[in-house]
Amino acid sequence: MYEKGFLEKFKKVVKRSGLHVIPRKENREALVELNLTKKIRKDIIMELTTANYIAGPEADRDRSGEIWIFKEDTGGVEIYIKLKLIEKDCGSFAKCISFHKAQFPMKK
């Protein structure tokens, strides 16, 4: 289960260095639409388990590295979550690329 190792490392990096969320329009709108705060979004991400895993690792089509895809049901709404760990000489960074309503039903 590679996703378990990814989640453990991702959560450690978030605790140490914080979570960077890409400021995409759909990510911002999801908070308003779902009545979530940035803290609740972070809490949802920090509570992900292997049961939330959908896919990954997959090559990031825009930059080097790998992305992982998860889902979470919040208030009857399926949320699409795309995460990435970035490794640099100065350390690791946790990035949330997507956090918004799923555009279609997600299955493993």
Decide if pLDDT at 107 tops 90.
Answer: no
User: Looking at residue 99, what is its pLDDT?
Assistant: 94
Model confidence over 11-32: pLDDT tens digits?
Answer: 999 999 999 999 999 999 999 9
Sketch out the chain's domains with CATH numbers. 2-101 (3.30.2310.40)
- pLDDT tens readout for residues 47-93: 999 999 999 899 888 888 899 999 999 888 899 999 999 887 777 89
pTM, two decimals, is 0.91
Name, in order, each residue with C-beta under 8 angstroms of 97's C-beta and a sequence gap of 6 or more. Answer: 22, 24, 67, 82, 83, 84
pLDDT at 4: 87
Burial of 20 per CB tally in 10 Å (0-12, 13-18, 19+): middle
